[in-house]
């Protein structure tokens, strides 16, 4: 299974379209700032499942939860924009939350700084950066997770 991960698109949609057309994923995740961008792109790919959470620039009236835990191919993924975890000051709150819920993969944005790392306990942590310049790709095959970052 291929999963594309975007964040902080801020009205820059061309990289998202290009990545979807290139990788042909089975799932797209958008981590906020601007959730409306994800909704717009999703309309162009009605057969493709999109999962999205709002960011700090998406306003407070959005009815979408700011944090979600989903399971894909038997792997637990915890995702949020990251501002409520204060990721600009460090990752400890986000990591603690992921470990508390037994997540295999932790996804967040907010900093615009790409990050892809597997911690000693096996937890994958990814920030795809800003969709203007980068995105993440998660592949789950035979129970094995691989994560990578790509330039738009």
Phi–psi pair at 83, nearest 5 degrees: -65, -35
Half-sphere exposure of 72 toward its Cβ, with a 13 Å CA cutoff?
25
Q: What domains are defined for the chain?
A: 2-151 (3.60.21.10)
pTM of the predicted protein model? 0.96
Give pLDDT, residue 136: 98
Task: Report how far apart, in Å, the C-alpha atoms of 3 and of each of 52, 93, 116, 146, 149 are.
Answer: 13, 24, 14, 10, 12
Q: pLDDT of the chain along its 152 residues, tens only?
A: 999 999 999 999 999 999 999 999 999 999 999 999 999 999 999 999 999 999 999 877 667 889 999 999 999 999 999 999 999 999 999 999 999 999 999 999 999 999 999 999 999 999 999 999 999 999 999 999 999 999 98
Phi-psi region of 59 (alpha: psi -120 to 50; beta: other; left: phi over 0): left
In 3D, which of 57, 22, 21 has the Cα closest to residue 37? 57
Give pLDDT, residue 63: 77
């Amino acid at each position: 299974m291929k999963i594309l991960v975007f964040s902080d698109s801020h009205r820059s949609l061309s990289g998202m379209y290009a990545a979807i057309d290139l990788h042909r994923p089975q799932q797209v995740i958008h981590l906020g700032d601007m959730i409306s961008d994800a909704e717009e792109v999703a309309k162009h790919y009605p057969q493709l499942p999109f999962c999205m959470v709002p960011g700090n620039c998406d306003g407070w009236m959005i009815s979408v939860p700011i944090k979600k835990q989903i399971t894909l191919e038997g792997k637990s993924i915890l995702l949020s924009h990251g501002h409520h975890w204060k990721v600009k000051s460090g990752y400890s709150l986000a990591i603690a939350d992921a470990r508390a819920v037994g997540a295999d993969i932790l996804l967040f944005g907010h900093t615009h700084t790409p990050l892809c790392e597997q911690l000693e306990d096996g937890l994958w942590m990814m920030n795809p950066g800003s969709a203007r310049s980068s995105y993440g790709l998660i592949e789950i095959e035979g129970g094995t997770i691989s994560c990578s970052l790509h330039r738009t």
